[in-house]
Chains A and B, each alone.
Chain A
Amino acid sequence: MPEPPLTDAQLIARVLVHDDRHAFSELVRRYQSAIRATLRRLTAGNHALADDLAQETFMLAYRNLKSFRQEARFSTWLYRIATNAFLADARKRKEELLGDRDADVADADGGDDGQPESAGPDPTRASALRMDMDRALAVLSEGERAAIVHCYHNDLTHEEAAQVLNCPVGTVKTHILRAKVKLRSQLAAWATD
């Protein structure tokens, strides 16, 4: 009979006690999709940067695994590291990022006036929405974007999002309210759908 897969806690214990690289690689394999997808959202669709930050996230997780107290889910702890890595990177290259974003938005606009993006000859609604959402998320501040991504895309509660963002729950709610005001304007073309 095949053995049941090890739990996160068992894998973490193996890493901590025996420096078991195979156990850690299993944790990376388990969470790479969620972390990379989250970072893609946070970076407003910059896949290369998202993967770099995801790699940094797992490296930091490995180095600081001893400090993980298992009070929260491992995924929540990873989201926190990923968000911190994203915010630190955004601060570091704020000017550069804003320049790239402006260029991207100008290129992508292509003369349309805010209509839902056509991803190809026969785009699905989901892919068109994803592209427009990425573009709309790029307009938000980093904090607002992180709050939206964690609460709506990662389905965290406000309390969990507050843990991830290391801020009070009230701040998360404020971020979401402000973000939604901006998103309403950015995604206005979808209002009639």
Chain B
Amino acid sequence: MSDRSLPRTGAGDDWLEALLDADGAEHRASYLDDDGFTARTMSSLPAPVTLPAWRRPALAALWAAAGVGIALALPGAVTDVAREVMRVMLGQPVSLTGIAAALVALGAMSWVGAAVALRDD
């Protein structure tokens, strides 16, 4: 044992200490053959979580479809929100071309955000 600071249990305790030391040394020196233990253990682990290869493009397509769907369902609202956002950001009225440019920029940012969110864990 590494720490020898234990009080003794009796005057004739040396033989027990020696016995425990001898048994401990024999225990540490012996090596148990694997005998298939590692294979059995590995086969008992939960199956790895493998996501299908189509997950990423499918999720991206769903997000894109959702965006387009919202834009088509609420065209006025989308234009108004975009116009107000641009007005607040730039401090002046903007044209439809400006809004289109902003939407493209927002779309690009969304794609980057989606790419980051869908990266490998």
Contact = CB atoms under 8 A, between A and B. Distances in A.
B41 A151 contact: no
A72 to B, nearest CB: 15
A152 B48 contact: no
Given A28-B41, A37-B27, A151 B13 contact: no
Contacts of A133: 19, 23
Contacts of A58: 41
Contacts of A141: none
Contact of B37 (A54, A158, A190): A54
A36 B46 CA distance: 21
A106 B21 CA distance: 27
Contact of A191 (B12, B26, B41): B12
Interface string A168-193: 00000100110011011001001101
Given A19-B48, A59-B41, A152-B24, A177 B13 contact: no
Interface residues of A, number: 43
Interface of B: 1-3, 5-7, 9-10, 12-13, 15-16, 19-24, 26-28, 30-32, 34, 37-38, 40-42, 44-46, 48-49
Given A126-B26, A184-B16, 10 more contacts: A19-B48, A19-B49, A21-B48, A24-B45, A25-B38, A126-B22, A129-B26, A153-B24, A158-B6, A180-B9
18 contacts: A21-B42, A25-B38, A28-B41, A29-B34, A32-B32, A37-B30, A51-B37, A55-B37, A59-B45, A130-B23, A130-B27, A151-B3, A152-B23, A155-B28, A158-B6, A180-B13, A184-B13, A191-B15
Interface of A: 19, 21, 24-25, 28-29, 32-33, 36-37, 41, 51, 54-55, 58-59, 62-63, 126, 129-130, 133, 148, 151-159, 173, 176-177, 180-181, 183-184, 187, 190-191, 193
